[in-house]
Structure 1
Amino acid sequence: MSIYVAHRLFSAHDRALAAGLADRIAAKVGPDRVFLPFCDTDEEDLVAEVKGRRLFELDRERLASLDAMVAILHGPSLDDGVCMEIGHAAASGVPVIVLTTDFQTYSLSEAGPHLDFPDPLLQAVATRVVRVPKLGPPTPPPTQTESRFQSFQARNAAQTITALDATVDALLDLPDDTPRLVGSPAVIGAPVYVEASPYTAWGRDHLAKACVDVGHTVVVPQRFTAPDPVAGALADLTAVCSAARLLADVSGPETPPGTALLIGAAVASGVPVAAFQPRPTFTHAHGREPNWRNLMVQYAADAHLDNRDAVMSWLAT
């Protein structure tokens, strides 16, 4: 069994949490069968002419040969790199277990069905969601040597241990065969899937109109308007994986989680991807070239577009 642990990389506590999970899994299946990004790509000491691209290539090599993925996702702002990796795994027929300790649930309307994540795509593709939203049991009253903060820390540590152990159990209980979630490859004349950004005021119409103006048919997301958001999300996933192209608006403080997931699914399915963002933002890390947003999203996209003329040019090729 080859297992990929997908997690947010950019702070010490996130890496430590993922390492704890990877170590528990390794104790059950063997350390050579577990891949932990950043740790196993040795990012701090890696030497490469274009380091960000090399990191993407190393991670993608592992994504192409998995038996299972375990992904850590917390809170309403989900890591776009992890979501991209989840989409790649789901489109490849790889089972995905998602771990969350978020105590909130989410809905698309006030009275709508509750979901574990803000975008129903995460719910739709997850083989299993391990959700441990409650702290560990209260400890006895603090002693003279233990503050209330230490007691609260202990309850959070107990919650974390419970979540990690439950995730390992869920991984070991996976069935031998997991059905493929996506549709057939694209055919000649397949539509362009246009994914809007929830962070922009202009919505999807400007990109959809550009596609129509060039002569393409267009498919747009169903999951935000469907009576059953999860069913709509599965329809979106199937549509992307059989589309002629994916045109994704990644505007906003980060690539929206569902958009990042669909980018990963498109890459795994061989569907060309263009990422549209009029005002790009860059990330910087020691020894790495400036990355156009998250490096997994950056190098997954075939084109980066920042205006209508660039969109029209890409669509015409």
Structure 2
Amino acid sequence: MVGPDRVFLPFCDTDEEDLVAEVKGRRLFELDRDRLGRLDAMIAILHGPSLDDGVCMEIGYAAASGIPVVVLTTDFQTYSMTEAGSHLEFPDPLLQAVATRVVRVAKLGPPALPPAPGRSRFQDFRARNMAQTSTALDAAVDALLNLPSRAPLPSGSPSGVGTSVYVEESPYTAWGRDHLAKACMGAGHTVVVPQRFTAPDPVAGALVDLTAVRSAARLLADVSGPETPPGTALLIGAALASGVRIAAFQSRPTFTHAHGREPNWRNLMIQYAADAHLDSDDAVLSWLAA
């Protein structure tokens, strides 16, 4: 049996309200990361085209650590790299590539027949949503209990030295998708760029990207935009678990503020996974030279 004592729920079990730490955001990251390395399995809830970057980072860390990941979604949309391309469960094929199982419950529960007396249409709609959620959670738990103990992933062998840099550009940047790659090549480094967005099979391309990141000496990830793109966040987690040096590039950060916590320039799991935060070309070159 799996009881509540075996379940880790980060927002509940890191106890941010009562946590006392000199740098609270970093301590929350450390508590979460330490527990990620000791999981037997993970259920990750993702929904819609804009996926939580902290959850995606945790998925990458868990998957690279050989921990089975069940991804749960009630999204009725599917996605593709081109208008006529193969349909994917998520906007970035990396999520589908690393998931041990995807549990998808895309329809609301059945309408009440006949309508309950005195209930509004809003109450009926809420009941249909709750039925969908309950079905999805039951399916995710069933999938979890029937998973193998470890999920197979392509192995990575990070060198930790040398000149190989995996460059993950942001789709939100205005200056084009090869801005950082050009800077790295100009500095004499071997550059590896994503394959999944142009590969005939996006999921196979995603696995190539994952292996490349875990085998690189460094990951240079552009985290610009309203949130870190989901695939980028996943690769940051995988790189952290694999011992790869990570730099996050963001030329115009927007800070978040929470009571008792230091100002953060990105999601905690992204900010503290990175060894360096870069905001200019000069900063990139200095990091590459270090």
* TM-score, normalised with respect to structure 1: 0.89
For residue 86 of structure 1, the aligned residue among 55, 59, 66 is: 59
Distance 1:70 1:251 in 2: 27
* Residue 7 of structure 2 is aligned to residue 34 of structure 1: yes
Matches within 5 A, 1:139-218: 139-186=112-159, 188-189=161-162, 191-218=164-191
* Residue 86 of structure 2 is aligned to residue 113 of structure 1: yes
* Residue 204 of structure 2 is aligned to residue 231 of structure 1: yes
- The offset of 1:161, in angstroms, is 0.3
- 2:237·2:273 contact (CA, 8 Å) conserved in 1? yes
Secondary structure at 1:129 match in 2? strand
For residue 272 of structure 2, the aligned residue among 272, 277, 299 is: 299
- The offset of 1:176, in angstroms, is 3.2
- Residues 97-155 of structure 1, C-alpha deviations (whole Å, 9 max, x = no match): 00000010011111111111000000000000000000001112434411111111111
- The offset of 1:296, in angstroms, is 0.8
Amino acid at match of 2:96: Q
After superposing the two structures, state which structure 1 stretch, 204-213 or 306-315, moved more: 204-213
For residue 284 of structure 1, the aligned residue among 257, 265, 269 is: 257
- 1:199·1:252 contact (CA, 8 Å) conserved in 2? yes
- Unpaired runs of 5+ residues, structure 2, are none
Distance 1:162 1:190 in 2: 49
- 1:194·1:204 contact (CA, 8 Å) conserved in 2? no
Kindly report structure 1 stretches of 4+ aligned residues shifted beyond 6 Å: none
* TM-score, normalised with respect to structure 2: 0.97
- Residues 271-317 of structure 1, C-alpha deviations (whole Å, 9 max, x = no match): 01000011001111111111111011000000000000000000011
- The offset of 1:181, in angstroms, is 3.2
Flag the 1:80–1:177 CA change in 2: closer, same or farther, 3 A: closer
- Residues 52-78 of structure 1, C-alpha deviations (whole Å, 9 max, x = no match): 000000001101112111101011100
- 2:160·2:245 contact (CA, 8 Å) conserved in 1? no
- 1:277·1:306 contact (CA, 8 Å) conserved in 2? yes
- The offset of 1:188, in angstroms, is 4.5
Amino acid at match of 2:209: D
Amino acid at match of 1:148: R
Percent identity over the alignment is 82
For residue 111 of structure 2, the aligned residue among 134, 138, 162 is: 138
Task: State the match for 2:214 in structure 1.
Answer: 241
- 2:196·2:204 contact (CA, 8 Å) conserved in 1? yes
Q: What count of residue pairs does the alignment treat as equivalent?
A: 290
Amino acid at match of 1:53: R
Secondary structure at 1:38 match in 2? helix
Secondary structure at 1:283 match in 2? coil
Distance 2:282 2:142 in 1: 51
Task: State the match for 1:5 in structure 2.
Answer: none
Flag the 1:107–1:120 CA change in 2: closer, same or farther, 3 A: same
Distance 2:33 2:171 in 1: 27
Flag the 1:53–1:187 CA change in 2: closer, same or farther, 3 A: closer
Secondary structure at 2:124 match in 1? helix
Distance 1:67 1:216 in 2: 38
